[in-house]
Structure 1
Amino acid sequence: MKKIFSAFLLCFSLLLQAQQEQVSSPEGSLKMELNVLEGKLMYSVAYDDVLLIDGAPLGFVTNEGDFSNDLVFVEAVKDAVSKTYEQDKIKQSQITYNANTLRYTVKDSKDRRFSVLVQVSDNDIAFRYEIDKWGETRAIVVEKELTGFSFPQETTSFLSNVMRPMTGFARTAPSYESAYTADKPIAEQTAAGGYVFPALYKVKDEYWVLLSETGVRSLYPASHLSAYQDGTFYIEYPNEKENNGFGSSGAQLGLPGITPWRTITVGKSLKPVVETTIPWDVVEPLYEPSQEYEYGKGSWSWIIWQDASMNYEDQKAYIDLAAAMDFKYILIDAWWDERIGYERMEELIDYAASKDVGVFLWYNSNGIVNDAFQTPLNKMNTSIERKKEMKWLQKAGVKGLKVDFFGGDKQETMRMYEDILSDANDYGLMIIFHGTTLPRGWERMYPNFVGSEAVVASEMLVFVEDVRKKEAYNATLHPFIRNAVASMEFGGVVLNDYLNRGNKSGQKRLTTDAFQLATGVLFQNPVQMFALTPNNLDDAPNFQLDFLKELPTTWDETRFMDGYPGKFSVLARRNGDTWYVAGVNAEAEPKKLNLDLSFLAGKTVRLINDDKNVETFTKEIKIPKNGKLNLTMQSGGGFVIVNE
């Protein structure tokens, strides 16, 4: 009897061992473990053998059944993946990705199987569900996921809440335009609608964890995080009230099928968070570019001169501004079709071309899911009208579109994004999205995608006093959260003292010129429409204009230098052989920095900074041979260093 019992224990032990599988990063510090316990699929994440996510749930519920309970382990297969690729629209141009993989397969009582595919690189985890064919079943609806992220109770968080659907301007929410809270205990993150991706956490006072998702396209809705529930943040699908209540909030999926990747970036500092490329490492281009698209800076009248500037003469003045600044583009915003007209717009496009300036035109994305009334309207939401319009756009010589007012993450909205991008590529048009969702790997997936807003951007400086007062605070968050996972079309760099056309009185800008110039480096997007106004050609110092003329919008390398979300941020970016180091300060007092600029050691560089009177100046300095540089950022100020 003892021998039988011992044999049973041995078998039970082997079974547990077989069910519990771990995959580590190539370097070995980051680990993810999967296990089935009492019929439930769970995972944990450790870094340096410290548990950061523990006993978090996996699984999903479909219209064919519940796949979060009564699961049985089938097999685990380990492998590795390695690739090198080029990407010219993100924070780094040459990327090598190496990861160890684990495909962990389970089944339910009806022998219906699915796997969790995990890829672990040195500071990043990406995982997704891969669902097999189930007998004759080839189509399912995934109604919800049980995927969760379970952190230690003392964890703090940096989260932005999901906007309530069908609220805000013309009922266009949600549009990822809620501010982030900083360092808030997770137990207090109880917003009813949940929180958008990306989400940043500080765990055990020394580890950073960034959550996001990538690879979302027309085949799945975009998701977000739930409010904190019993120790866990869960994946949630879009609110059913989005799109005026029309369309499913779940995922219509053909079998075999896959879900988007959920990503976890982990580090003992913010360096892996700032420098991660995981949103693009695990996706591939969906189609070939129809032509070679060119990126660069642009002028944009609407942000400061607003609707009244939508006339031929003002737009001509902004074309002249773009030409004077050596900018590639001008963005002509809402109402152009009514106030300038198609025929005169062709004249304006020709005028811009004579100045070597390309034109982006604004469009309302729809006419059926919200009350946004700006025109052109009903040109982008149906295939027939869209292709008819794009044929004219191509003939007229337009270079790109800014499409606005999406307001939702349902699968049908993801399909609309993809349809616009795909059709636009056929006509050689680049696309910027506004009033929109977070891009999820789109820079790599869609060759003509050149950025999204999805942030409390420059327009809110004009519309909301609280945002104007918190401009520096918000700016210190973006490099660590929103802009860490996707391009961010912010529309900033304001050199007017007042946020209006007269520039004499009214809403005063509360940050320095050096701060504004620094955001041109900190905020990354391949096509960036800046908030300069024609008067800046006369009232802004030449050194500031010269800096902006030379400033690139694409980067070969990005490095974290220093900072803390909500307090200050310092990054370094390289374009070719030229390094730009930039920082901004949101703290109430001047911030003293001790920077390691060993990559510029012994070199003479140009410094733009603020003095004690908060006046922006420039001078040449030499970086010491040891690469160490001490400098001070004023409150609401910033700095830029450029090697010449």
Structure 2
Amino acid sequence: MKIISFTLLYVFCLLFTGEANAQNTKSVSSPDGHLEVRVAISNGKAQYSVHYQDKVMLENSPLGLVTNEGDFTSNMSFEDASTGKIDKSYTQDKIKTSAVQYQSNTLTYTAKNEEGKQIAYHFQVSDHDIAFRYELPKWGDTRATVVEREVTGFRFPSATSAFLSSMMKPMTGFARTAPSYESGYVTDAALESTTAEFGYVFPGLFKIGENGWVLLSETGVGSNYNGAHLSNFKDGMYTVEYPQMEQNNGFGSTGAQIGLPGFTPWRTITVGKTLQPIVETTIPFDVVEPLYEASQAYQYGKGSWSWIVWQDNSMNYEDQVQYVDLAAAMDFEYILIDAWWDERIGYEKMEKLIDYANSKDVDVFLWYNSNGTTNDAFQTPLNKMNTSIARKKEMKWLKEVGVKGLKVDFFGGDKQETMRLYEDILVDANDHGLMVIFHGTTLPRGWERMYPNFVGSEAVLASEMLIFSQGVREKEAFYASLHPFIRNAVGSMEFGGILLNKFLNRGNKKGQERLTTDSFQLATGVLFQNPVQMFGLTPNNLTDVPEFELDFLRKLPTTWDETVFIDGYPGKYSVLARRSGKHWYIAGVNAENTAKTLKIDLPMLKGQEVSLYNDDKERQPTLQTVKVGKNGELTVTVQSRGGFVITY
């Protein structure tokens, strides 16, 4: 009798628990109905799951924060839920497309902890994108809190493989400036093998077996919060992790201080059956707004840059004149003058150099060391950007002498203190009519839209490592085939490419041999999106590369009205189409060891005669006119470590 009673009680408890969970489970779907998020509280813990076309893309994964005013990770109970819609359009001239229509359905799910303090989970779901964040209301008289950690998780189905770049160990690397988002990638890796000690940077790409693809990232991080990253794979999932204490020489909190009511940044999840939504997503910009107005209309474009190939020894007046002349000959808008200019050229002579550049219709970007106390980077100008007093004094001079932009280097951390420095530099620069590129830096998280004068970040294993590392030169094509699907999918990427020397040094006769073709280099000018591009051309290229390559670079846009995924697989090859006005550029690269013949579908160019920049079997550059089929198909053979560009 007791056994029967116990069994009945057990069944009753199961039914009661199931009914309670069903009552607090809320869902929101995309406008087209294919993408769904379900949110619930189970055993006192908030969780969510993601389904696409009735396939599980993320299994039940945890939600929650720990603050100094309360724990919101356990003993939670459901309070309320509401739904809504968003339909907005905006224009943005610095991202992969210039006009965006964003439509999403929303769910606000409110819960409380055992102390009765509320937290809300805000979800916005568009046809291929999910953005979610936490809202912390004002609790009584409490007006501020510190978010100490986050348990947000991503639990993928077992068939998933990962494409990830590891977080660098703090206070390592050159002059103890790490982390700076300059690691390599693992591709198609089993989740159990992704055990990097310090986790993985955003964004992270995942192949969900045969069900499709997921891209994880975050956006909306400014002075309001810290930058986060993914943990390594443990307990069956990845979680959101905050910066390590060792970053920035141990200065600053690892958490975030926010006023109440307040919001965390957005976590973003892009989902697709194919890679097309991954490449074409605009979610990093859809859910943020400009934080201030541009002080003027900023001009984007291309620039010459001596340091990348000619290095430190080029920091003298005579060599910079050569690079001004190079920029003028190429119809480039800018020259970037890099480290040591203050010591080796000097402020007085720099004014003369700026005047000379302007006489050639070339404007100037100047390099600065961001550092004051957070690492050991020693290049000058130093101690000019890390304090408000020094920064405003320097920027006043920059404006007076006609400098148009800054490249600020060596940040090395994602703490809220560092995010404030990024924002302070941008705000002050805008007040003085200056654009800003960041180098040795973190991922830009919606900054193209948030900050009108932000024009790009490195945050990638970029062109300088092609100069320094044989291993990176050998993997150049491999990395290039990844960036459209991962790093460059969520933010502008200032790579500093287009290297046409056969040897990546001043002599161009022996040494660091370039292993990719000229057509590959031209293709990366299209594949890598950034509104201001500083290219690695050298003065000798004006006479030692084919004229048609130089003409291509003279005409190449740096801003785009539309971006379309054509074909590819990360780590193997990639083909994208970008449109500027009425002109189309279709570019591809091949990272595999043998030539690859592609039949590509170009519906926008049906029956049209187009220019094809490609490599012959001897890997020499060619230019020919070809006709796209009436069905929009064109067959192109791409050499190993080669590339192509189609223009119309």
Q: Smaller-chain TM-score range?
A: over 0.9
Q: Secondary structure at the match of 1:547?
A: helix
Aligned-residue offset at 1:622: 1.2
Separation in 2, partners of 1:6, 1:49: 30
Q: Which residue of 2 aligns with 1:184?
A: 189
2:543 matched to which residue of 1? 538
Counterpart position of 1:407: 412
Write the distance in 1 (CA, Å) between the matches of 2:473 and 2:20: 59
**Is residue 164 of structure 1 aligned with residue 169 of structure 2?**
yes
Matches within 5 A, 1:233-272: 233-272=238-277
What does residue 565 of structure 1 align with? Answer: 570
**SS of residue matched to 1:641:** strand
| Alpha-carbon distance in structure 1 between the residues aligned to 2:61 and 2:239 | 9
Map Cα deviations across residues 468-495 of structure 1 (whole Å, 9 max, x no partner): 1100001000000000000000000001
User: 1:637: which partner in 2?
Assistant: 642
After superposition, what is the alpha-carbon deviation per residue over 1:172-192, rounded to whole angstroms, capped at 9, x for unaligned?
000000011111011110111
Cross-structure match for 2:283: 278
Q: Return the match for 1:378 from 375, 383, 397.
A: 383
Residue in structure 1 matching 2:336, options 331, 337, 359: 331
In structure 2, what is the Cα distance between the partners aligned to 1:222 and 1:471? 28
- 1:545–1:31 Cα change, 3 Å: same
Asked if 1:123 corresponds to 2:128, the answer is yes
Q: How many angstroms apart in 2 are the aligned matches of 1:63 and 1:399?
A: 44
d(CA) in 1 for partners of 2:10, 2:203 = 50
Find 2:353's aligned residue among 339, 348, 353. Answer: 348
Other structure's SS at 1:466 match: helix
Q: 2:592 aligns with which of 587, 592, 604?
A: 587
Instruction: Using the TM superposition, give the Cα deviation of residue 140 of structure 1 relative to its aligned residue in structure 2, in angstroms.
Output: 1.1
TM-score with structure 2 length normalisation? 0.97
Distance (Å, rounded) in 1 between the aligned partners of 2:183 and 2:567:
25
Question: Which contiguous aligned blocks of 4+ residues in structure 1 show a shift greater than 4 angstroms?
Answer: 4-14
User: Deviations along 1:560-615, whole A, 9 cap, x unmatched?
Assistant: 00000000000000000000000000100111101111110111111000111111
Q: Does the C-alpha gap of structure 1 residues 8 and 636 become closer, same or farther in structure 2, counting only changes over 3 Å? A: closer
Residue aligning to 2:218: 213
Q: Which residue of 1 aligns with 2:521?
A: 516
The counterpart of 1:619, out of the listed 614, 617, 624, is 624
Rounded to whole Å, the distance in 2 between the matches of 1:297 and 1:422 is 23
Letter of the 2:102 partner, please give it.
Answer: Y
Alpha-carbon deviations, 1:273-320, whole Å to 9, x = none? 000000000000000000000000000000000000000010010000
Q: Structure 1 residues 199-208 or 451-460, which shifts more?
A: 199-208
8 Å CA contact 1:468–1:509 kept in 2: the answer is: yes
Paired residue type of 1:329: Y
Q: Which whole-Å CA distance do the structure 2 matches of 1:306 and 1:121 have between them?
A: 46
Give the one of 100, 111, 119 matched to 1:114.
119
Secondary structure in structure 2 of the residue aligned to 1:163: coil
1:55 is matched with which residue? 60
Paired residues of 1:178 and 1:455 also in contact (CA < 8 A): yes
Amino acid at match of 1:313: E
Contact 2:55-2:211 within 8 A present in 1 as well: no
Distance 1:10 1:273 in 2: 41
User: Residue 615 of structure 2 corresponds to which residue in structure 1?
Assistant: 610
Q: Which residue of 1 aligns with 2:229?
A: 224
1:41 corresponds to which of 42, 46, 61:
46
Please tell me whether the aligned partners of residues 58 and 146 of structure 1 are also in contact (alpha carbons under 8 angstroms). Answer: yes
The answer to whether the 8 A contact 1:189-1:228 is kept is yes
When normalised by structure 1's length, the TM-score is 0.98
What's the secondary structure of 1:599's corresponding residue?
helix
CA–CA separation in structure 1 for the residues paired with 2:51 and 2:263: 26
Contact 1:243 1:369 in 2 (8 A): yes
Q: CA deviation at 1:67?
A: 0.8
Structural mapping, 1:66-85, within 5 Å? 66-85=71-90
* Structure 1 residue 153: Cα displacement: 2.0
Amino acid of the structure 1 residue aligned with 2:465? M
1:427-448 deviation digits (Å, cap 9, x = unpaired): 0000000000000000000000
Summarize the Cα distance change of 1:458–1:5 in structure 2 as closer, same or farther, 3 Å threshold.
Answer: closer
Quick check: 1:166–1:244 contact (8 Å CA) kept in 2?
A: yes
Measure how far apart 1:15 and its partner are: 3.8
For 2:15 and 2:503, locate their aligned partners in 1 and report how far apart those are by CA, in whole Å. 76
Code of the aligned partner of 1:437: T
Q: State whether structure 2 residue 633 is matched by structure 1 residue 628.
A: yes
Structure 1 residue ranges without an equivalent (≥5): none
The one-letter code of the counterpart of 2:143 is: R
Counterparts of 1:8 and 1:143, CA distance in 2? 35
- Give the superposition deviation at 1:139: 1.4
Report the AA paired with residue 352 of structure 2. E
Map of 2:305 onto structure 1? 300
Partners of 1:472 and 1:585 within 8 A in 2: yes
Q: Say which of 406, 429, 440 aligns to 2:434.
A: 429
Change (3 A) 1:608 1:361: same
Q: Aligned AA for 2:233?
A: Y
Q: Which position in structure 2 is the counterpart of 1:504?
A: 509
Aligned to 1:420: 425
Deviation, 1:10, is 9.2
**Shift in Å, 1:14:** 5.7
Q: Using the TM superposition, give the Cα deviation of residue 8 of structure 1 relative to its aligned residue in structure 2, in angstroms.
A: 10
Task: Name the SS for the 2:353 alignment partner.
Answer: helix
Contact 1:153 1:187 in 2 (8 A): no
Are 1:488 and 2:502 counterparts?
no
Q: Structure 1 residue 366 and structure 2 residue 367: aligned?
A: no
CA distance in 1, matches of 2:334, 2:13: 73
Name structure 2 gaps, 5 residues minimum. Answer: none
Q: How does 1:89-168 map to 2 (within 5 A)?
A: 89-168=94-173
Q: Say if 1:155 and 1:186, in contact at 8 Å, map to a contact too.
A: yes
Matched, 1:389 2:398: no
Aligned length: 641
Classify 1:75/1:550 alpha carbon distance in 2 versus 1 (closer, same or farther; 3 Å).
same
Match for residue 468 of structure 1? Answer: 473
* 1:69-113 per-position Cα deviation (integer Å, ceiling 9, x unaligned): 000000110001110000000000000000000000000122100
Mark the CA change 1:5 to 1:453 in structure 2 (over 3 Å): closer, same or farther: closer
Tell me the distance in 2 between the aligned counterparts of 1:236 and 1:109. Answer: 24
